[in-house]
Amino acid sequence: MRSAARATALVALTALLSACDVGLPAGRTPHREGNRLDMVDQPKLKPQRRDIFGSRPTGLMEPQPGTIAVGEHPYPYAQNEADRAGVGLVNPLQPSPEVVAHGKFVYENVCIACHGPKGAGDGHVTALFPKPPSLMTQKVRDWPDGQLFHRPMRGQNSMPSHARQVDAHDAWSVIHYIREMQKVEPVAPPSAVAAAPPASDSAAAMARPTGAASSATAPAGPVKGGK
């Protein structure tokens, strides 16, 4: 009986000791000398170690709500606040040749696929997707720069936000480039009527190039889902 009690005590002790080991993050093979630990076996926080037991302090912590990364400038206006953006934001860039050239570069790498080379809304993808309205309308000309800036930041209907592709410097430069285009391109008629039909039948518009885009050179290649 005494030996049974001793065995139980031994088991309990082993369990207790291994529990201590769990509480004390160790290297791969914790090396003990007497009751000392190796220096590598210090209790410490490791940044990538998960808090598997719920209560142990961990280096892996969520940033406090509202934390802003160094160099990050969150865009302050919600999607439906284009008017406020128009009043509150001022283009920080002067339309110098460099800025306009950078705007052209960004436009021709990001916006052109949908908005077309002259902002008419006839970019290549419009053979398959709803045409964006022209950027040469009187409406867009009358918008303050901030209201234009709002579109790439927040997107609008079928145009997704481009805040991950273009930073503020890119977007403000693009606006100067659009203004330059507006100086030389004729004023486009209001877009409301042109935009409505494809939007109401977008599934069909995606499946086949519609006559609406006939002025653009519709690519004759295979259409997604068409074969």
Can you spell out the DSSP letters for 41-89?
A: G-----TT---TTSSS--S--PPPTT---TT-----S-TT-HHHHHHH-
Q: Is 156 helix (H, G, I), strand (E, B) or coil?
A: strand
Is residue 130 a contact point for ligand HEC (CB under 6 A)?
yes
Please identify which residue in 115, 146, 153, 172 interacts with ligand HEC, judged by CB under 6 A. 115
Closer residue to ligand HEC, CB minimum distance, 58 or 156? 156
Point out which span in 30-38, 47-55, 134-142, 212-220 binds ligand HEC (CB under 6 A). Answer: 134-142
Cβ distance 30 to 18 under 8 Å?
no
**93 is a contact residue toward ligand HEC (CB under 6 A):** no
Q: Which two tokens stand for residue 218?
A: 């519709």
Which of 91/191 has CB closer to ligand HEC? 191
Taking the least distance from each CB to ligand HEC, the nearer of 56 and 179 is 179
Task: Kindly identify the residues of this chain, within the stretch 186-225, that bind ligand HEC according to CB under 6 A.
Answer: 191, 195
9 three-state secondary structure: helix
Shortest Cβ 107–ligand HEC spacing (Å): 6
Q: Distance of CA 206 to CAs 120, 123, 133, 137, 200, Å?
A: 20, 15, 17, 25, 12
Comparison of 41 and 83: residue with beta carbon closer to ligand HEC = 83
Using the rule CB under 6 A, is 146 a contact of ligand HEC?
Answer: no
Question: How far apart (Å, rounded) are the C-alpha atoms in residues 18 and 88?
Answer: 62
Tokens, residue 62: 């969520």
Determine, following the binding rule CB under 6 A, whether residue 166 of this chain makes contact with ligand HEC.
yes
Nearer to ligand HEC, 58 or 165 (CB): 165
Give the footprint of ligand HEC on this chain (CB under 6 A). Answer: 110-111, 113-115, 130, 132-133, 135, 137, 139-140, 148, 151-152, 156-159, 162, 166, 174, 191, 195
